[in-house]
Amino acid sequence: MKKILIGLLAAAAVGSAVSAASAGTLDDVKKKGFLQCGVNTGLPGFAAPNDKGEWTGFDVDYCRAVAAAVFGDGTKVKFTPLSAKDRFTALQSGEIDVLIRNTTWTISRDTALGFNFTGINYFDGQGFMINAKKLPGVNSALQLSGASVCVQSGTTTELNLADYFKANKMEYNPVVFEKLEETNSAYDSGRCDVLTTDQSGLYATRLTLAAPDDHVVLPEIISKEPLGPAVRQGDDQWFDIVKWVHFALLNAEELGITQANVEEMKKSDNPEVKRVLGEEADTKIGTDLGLTNDWVVRIVKAVGNYGEIFERNVGQGSPLKIARGINAQWSKGGLQYAPPIR
């Protein structure tokens, strides 16, 4: 009997600890009146302030999409720029509500660090960039034995670099920095032969170099870098919201719902379009998430659909000109695939 009682008390203690940990981020965000979003310190195309000091980019638009889902207003967001090293403590400590900062989903981040990744909004992979004037004739990473490589600490990049050179029995000299700016300027000033990071990051960084055209991204992709938003474990409602914002953006693209036509699409005869836009009678499509039933309308009005976000920030409508590639929809030969909204 005594044992059972102790067991029950222990279970109650665990139960209350869990509910304390899960005290709703949604309610906190609503109370504050804005979303606090952790982003990059300055990676063109993903998250960087423009000349007017406004944050822009692919990750920034994801922050705005979450804010729009909650408030119906994509401007109700404050940005916390975070280095590779500082991003995880900022999320753990509650300084930010969500981390949307070119962050790779890995098992240790998902378990030991206590996060939940809400999806993969950008399928990336690690690559190498060299100054072709300095290293003429180099057209493969396998020719880089003996090179000095600029790399940022606190990243998967640093770990994959070591694996790649070891696996290919090549020597290298890592030149490691904690900050993005230091890493990139060391490479630009010729202190290292090679810069390595996610391929998207290489394209973004190349634009910031003194002579971008002198630099070449080598063809090898040495890792999988599934990038996506992360939230703290212990708050399933918030996890669902950030996850379904991503799926809503993808579903909107599949259904041809755009920033320009979203109001018009509400009158569509297509039952799926009607359902997604919260126009079905007696729907609970948004309220079941803790939002309003027009949550997808709010998101698309604020930032457009996934394809629009991609093209505007990193694709053909941007200086980066990255091809959709594996980030295309599953129906167009890509990997982006969202579960249905029903």
The residues binding ligand GSH (CB under 6 A) are 40-41, 43, 83-84, 102-104, 152, 155-157, 180, 197-198, 201, 225, 227
Select 80 or 155, whichever has its Cβ closest to ligand GSH: 155
CB 146, min distance to ligand GSH, A: 23
- Cβ-contact 89, 154 below 8 angstroms: no
253, 254, 258, 264: CA torsion to nearest 10: -160
Select 251 or 313, whichever has its Cβ closest to ligand GSH: 313
Q: Which two tokens stand for residue 226?
A: 């599934």
**In degrees rounded to 5, what are phi and psi of residue 155?**
-125, 165
Select 93 or 331, whichever has its Cβ closest to ligand GSH: 93
Q: Which two tokens stand for residue 188?
A: 């630009």
Nearest-angstrom CA–CA distance, 304 and 300 = 4
Residue 19 amino acid letter? S
Nearest-angstrom CA–CA distance, 226 and 114 = 18
Select 19 or 50, whichever has its Cβ closest to ligand GSH: 50
Select 95 or 236, whichever has its Cβ closest to ligand GSH: 95
CB 46, min distance to ligand GSH, A: 8
Select 25 or 197, whichever has its Cβ closest to ligand GSH: 197
Select 172 or 187, whichever has its Cβ closest to ligand GSH: 187
Task: Give all strands of the β-sheet with 126-131 in edge-to-edge order.
Answer: 172-177, 147-152, 194-198, 126-131, 215-217
CB 193, min distance to ligand GSH, A: 18
Residues 6+ apart with CB under 8 A from 211: none
CB 118, min distance to ligand GSH, A: 15
CB 289, min distance to ligand GSH, A: 27
CB 305, min distance to ligand GSH, A: 24
Select 28 or 158, whichever has its Cβ closest to ligand GSH: 158
- Report CA torsion sign: 151, 157, 162, 165: negative
CB 203, min distance to ligand GSH, A: 10
Residue 26: other Cβ atoms inside 10 A: 18
CB 310, min distance to ligand GSH, A: 17
Q: Which two tokens stand for residue 131?
A: 């100054």
Nearest-angstrom CA–CA distance, 63 and 225 = 20
Residues 6+ apart with CB under 8 A from 300: 248, 249, 252, 257, 258, 259, 262
Which position's Cβ is nearest ligand GSH?
Answer: 201
